[in-house]
A and B are shown apart, each in its own frame.
Chain A
């Protein structure tokens, strides 16, 4: 069907269709006086070149020459057509070059990798922070209230600590001097939960303190350290940023993997979000460290209580799953974990120990 590439002739074989029937007619294409000439068995057509649309090259697929008045030619002889069109100076578009060269494909791949990495590491966290910092306080208040409502309904129980103890912790926290200019109104509420020794911050500045943590701490300053850490999460709008960042990561992966498999899209998303989560924990640690120093307290207190919380958690896990081995080497799990390894956090905050 195709003429050999070395053929010097400027005639190119094509199949002509008139657009009215599916009858295929073999023709030879040539160019004469600004017209495209189609010659075949009992057929001769002249199409002014200005009225002919030549389809772009797309791999090795047939090229189509479509006449605006109706009818088209299908050409399988790629080199022949290029030679034919070269006579009238028809050049190639930049996209044509891009789509058909291996070096460009590899360059595109490298460029994409760089864009992905830069967006993941810098652009997205920066954009989410800029946006989150502009969220009005009224919306944060609403988010915090509705979150607490849901958690109270399903996860949390009233605190069993006596009122005096609660008040003394509230007072100690209120007396805490903060390093940056605080933007939100902070209060602590006490709850108990099977989650054990923990505390978490809601977007509106409310810090939920679980009884387990108060019982675990040997020293109220340790509790203050955890509170300062949680306050760091709130001040830096971590909850909002996490929502923004993880939805963008999820969307991007769903788009890239397309319809291959939802499993392929979700597993990497979880791993990618874990890094953001660890970065935020470190940021909150730094905030806590600054707060502790501003109040003349040792930042090592946060490390101490983190170790205790980790030990309490592991003990609890062991109780539930006695067959599981000893505490895992948590540095190896760092890539997958939502929190940085406690030893590493300790080293950063409290270099002496």
Chain B
């Protein structure tokens, strides 16, 4: 921990516990079933509040203010869209494609709304977060760049990814302070290419090993029979490689995105260890399978702890200087309908 003059590293703390969350989770699950899914919106609020309030920074905790009614409304809309989408495809594939196109057209707007809902309903020390992204920029980030990536055979995928993250982070606010996103496109390309290289390398390694196994017989026949015998072996190597690479990717992505972001004068840092992420993932998966899903709340707490505690703020001065955004709060308070339209579509 280097300490510059007036700068103090403050790590996030996560104080949740698996057993505590298990009790909340199982009651949520039961009530959701008994109410045929209606309660799931209330369950989501409780889940988010449990995780937010257990996240602490410099003695203060975060909080979630979304109302179950708004979430329920968002879910009903999402459910309706899903049904309509499937029904349209059943009826006539051409109409289905039309509906898909319409969905793609409104998706950026919905995502923008969902970000607004999420951030406006998050607070720290009594001050709300906010999202100021424009509709036009949301179409560039969520539609234009992904389409560009698709038409260039995904050569531009890292660029599109960077643009999405930039839209999310650059437009986020805390009180009247702005987040500022500094992760360069280059960083995304390095991460994508090295992941690809590791993946390809392991495939080649697996195939080479398989050929060595089959080298008992001579010539091409030996290679073919080796490949056949080693089929399950190659699959296993691929699976392990996939797990390792995806853990490396998520850890480095989180570090890249958060580690290049500042909030006002304070710099955010993130040092998730890929090795620990891999371990948590694998053990969570095994625990979930062995307990037929009962381990899931424990898994969620372990993952949150790993990801949250790896992050922090290099605080310049102290954290008491943030001021509420009068304009943003005034519009939100003035319009009673703000929440009516700020639907939450994430599940």
Contacts and interface: CB of A to CB of B under 8 A. Distances in A.
Interface of A: 1, 15, 17-24, 55, 58-62, 64, 71-72, 74, 95, 98-102, 104-105, 108-109, 111-112, 115, 256-258, 260-261, 264
Given A61-B50, A100-B23, A105-B22, A260 B296 contact: yes
Interface in B7-65: 15-17, 20-24, 26-27, 29-30, 33-34, 46, 49-50, 53-54, 59-61, 63
B73 to A, nearest CB: 19
B321 interface: yes
B149 interface: no
Contacts of B59: 1, 15, 24
B323 A59 contact: no
A63 to B, nearest CB: 9
Q: Which of B26, B126, B296 has most chain A Cβ within 10 Å? A: B126
Given A74-B61, A257-B293, A60 B17 contact: yes
Interface residues of B, number: 43
B127 interface: yes
Nearest to B55: A61
A19 B324 contact: yes
A109 B294 contact: yes
Contact of A59 (B16, B33, B127, B294): B16
Interface of B: 15-17, 20-24, 26-27, 29-30, 33-34, 46, 49-50, 53-54, 59-61, 63, 124-127, 175, 284-285, 288-289, 293-294, 296, 299, 319-324, 347
Given A59-B20, A112-B26, A260-B285, A21 B293 contact: no
A322 B71 CA distance: 58
22 contacts: A19-B324, A20-B323, A21-B322, A22-B127, A22-B175, A22-B321, A55-B49, A58-B46, A58-B49, A60-B54, A61-B61, A64-B53, A71-B126, A74-B60, A95-B27, A100-B24, A105-B22, A109-B294, A115-B33, A257-B293, A260-B293, A260-B299
A338 to B, nearest CB: 23
Nearest to B299: A260
A135 to B, nearest CB: 14
Contacts of B46: 58, 99
B126 A104 contact: no
